[in-house]
Structure 1
Amino acid sequence: MKHMNYIFGTALLLFITGTSYGCNLKAHTKEKTTLTTTYAGKKPAEQYVKIALLLDTSNSMDGLINQAKTQLWDIVNEFTHAKCGTNIRPSLQIALYEYGNDNLSSHEGYIRQVLGFSNDLDEISEKLFSLTTNGGEEYCGQVIHTSLKQLDWGKNADDLKMIFIAGNEPFTQGKLDYKDAATNAQEKDVIVNTIFCGNYDQGISTMWKKGAMLTGGEYMAIDHNRQVVHINTPYDDIIIQLNSKLNNTYISYGSIGRQKKALQSMQDANAAELEEVVVVKRAVSKSSRLYKNSQWDLVDAAEDDESIISELKEKELPEELQGKSENEIKVYVKEKKAERQKIQKKIQELNAKREVYIAEHQKEETGELENAMLSAIKTQASKKNFTWD
């Protein structure tokens, strides 16, 4: 088992099945609608938490990027317990930007949208692992402005919309004033949270705290190169074994099915390259409601609408189902679903024991950034009537 020298928690990510209820406890409605914005008092079809993560990828930020890769699954696992109002689960979406990298276009302000809002956990992981660092100019105001302009933030007042921007250069760099970006954020009901990678007071003197305060966000300072000591537990190896069995319950279909199933395995491998405990955390995420792959997995797709089985052409099916009757395919899908649910339940049970073990053996706080982010998220989410169980 390897040890990694990084802590940064990113989040993100991600939020799955929709609901016809908002988090506004004063105005729940049971009327279903396909609208995505609020009209005539109707609730949108889905309730969202939308988080845009803006990461500095200049030379000094290798630790930050690696921490993001490591802590992603902790954030996802925490969001598994998020509730909107009473017992409604919100959908999570993550977007990712990089800025301050010489490899990026100077005409675009050394800024790139890596991923628009997505609830695809494998894709989010893939994009994080694609990031590399190279020195450059870090324009905080411009990257905030760009993310506000390019992303679809929606118009539902009950959605929780947040930006987390992380870096270590003065917040005032660039032609676009961060104050104007903050005004734009307020107009879209987006909260800007700032994460300075360095000394707390230095972050204040370089306007990172001011950048957060303008929208009611949180200012945080972290040591992005701090070494995190992960606690191994007696349950880790079993969870990793169950993760492999879990992958075997996925039935790829359609034009992207095989590619997406390969991506699933690749992100397991990426997690293992960091440390085995990251594979465990990812497996826990994969056993939760937030890991849903209806676009390429027949089990998830059939759960949403079983008619897809009769609509698929034979060439769109995996080899093991080609030549099978519709009824045989349905039976096979139901068997895989039952097998998956059994494995996921076992992972969740083992993880509960794992968390108790960690709490008993952990001598100090880990995941400094992760803890700071979750604190900010929960504080701001409470104003939208979100809770955690």
Structure 2
Amino acid sequence: STNDLLARLIAVLASVVLALAGWNYWALVGGAIALPLVTCIGAWTVCRWVPGPPRRDARTIPMIAFAMNTYGRFIASYLTWNLDNLLVGWRFGPAPLGFYKKAYDLFVMPVNQLSSPLTAVAVSSLSRLAGDPVQYRRYYLRALSILAFVGMGLATVLTLIGRDVILLLLGPRWTESGRIFTFFAPAIGVMLLYYTNNWIHLSIGRADRCFRWGVVDITVAASFFLAGLRWGPVGMAIAWVTSLWVLTIPGLSYAGRPVGLRIASVIEATWKYIVAGAVAGVAAAAVRETPNVAAALASIGVAGRIAIVSLLVGALYLSAVILLHRGCAPIRQVAAILRDMLPLPRLPRSVVASSNQPSAISIQQ
């Protein structure tokens, strides 16, 4: 939203100003404080509703229960996302933790950058369709298909260029982070798909089911983390990847049960992208490792290798997607979303009022 973008801009400017004023690392603290403060002020300014004094009302009990269950899920997710760091630091010390953390940060970056805006749009749109299960399932599956298209492509590209990305951004002293990241990267796409279970739970008002699945999530993830700890940071990365692949199908099946979402429909909407990513990744890796190509790539800079390998993987992935779908429909869907995101002239109010279907992700078949 505009408020979020403005708050982030002001927080960054606050950090820069404080740093120039000589506040050193406290400049980062100032920016971290400024972000929620400006967001809160902006929200109160934009939203004209002012709460009145509290009073007893039986209708608030479901709202409080919804909030508590949602908060419980957030706590469970927070523990899941930080338990691995705690275990690596405890068992192996600060240096391996530093390498692991940098690889992990790159691993979760696509989810962090995409999840907040997509969740806000998807939960709002799905909530409006909660009374129409057919349209609800159609919208969700189309959104899941587009996420699979983007996520599996990202996973394939980053698996092959991850080492060079970390080398370019952090330098040669962080090559171990690049090695760890190659074990993380194959799960980027499935992570994007897995966390859409929250969309379903929240949009149909079943935060209680969301919280219960959060308990399952942390239990399974913690079990894999403990099993992988003996193999060091690489073992922890493999544990993360394995837990995500193991949890995705049961998680989406459990979330979709109240709306009649069949797991066969989920697989049908996503399997072609998974296969396309695997085929493109194997083919690109084979081409990259041929002696002549490997020698040519070694002779150019890191940025050049990233660009060439990315183009190769992208071309192979898109070709595989087109072949498996027997057409360019997925590419047209993403292009339509990008068009929706571009600034357009404001429509007359009568036209806006006549549109009552979600537009960010097409639900037409």
Q: Please indicate the TM-score interval, normalised by the length of the shorter structure.
A: under 0.3
Q: Which structure shows the bigger proportion of residues in helix conformation?
A: 2
